[in-house]
Amino acid sequence: MDWQGQKLANILMQIILVVSTITAFGIGYSIGSFQMMMFTYAGGVVLTALITVPNWQFFNHHHLKWLDPSEAERHPMPQLNDAAVAAPKKKATKIK
């Protein structure tokens, strides 16, 4: 699953869970059955898992392009020293 596919899966998960929650509450309230509400919500959770957990093809539209290992060895990334990485400390000023 690529980055856009993960984002799509997250959005789908949120939408399906919210819709199943509202649907379950509506069914449970109209019938007057807490058990039926929980079964409906559980069905929504299972449906969400079936849609978002497997690596479906529509989650793989933006393939990642990895750098060839021989190319990576020829052009290594520059290493930063510890002084450049550390953020400079600011002096605390008193507010009067």
Report whether 38 contacts 69 (CB < 8 A).
no
* Distances in whole angstroms, Cα of residue 80 to Cα of each of 44, 77, 85, 90: 49, 9, 7, 22
- Domain map (residue ranges) of the chain: 1-53
Question: Model confidence over 41-79: pLDDT tens digits?
Answer: 999 999 999 999 888 787 777 777 777 777 777 777 777
C-alpha torsion sign, points 11, 12, 14, 19: positive
pLDDT of residue 63: 75
| pTM reported for the whole predicted model | 0.63
The proportion of the chain whose per-residue pLDDT surpasses 90, expressed as a percent, equals 44
pLDDT(85) > 70: no
pLDDT of residue 42: 97
pLDDT(12) > 70: yes
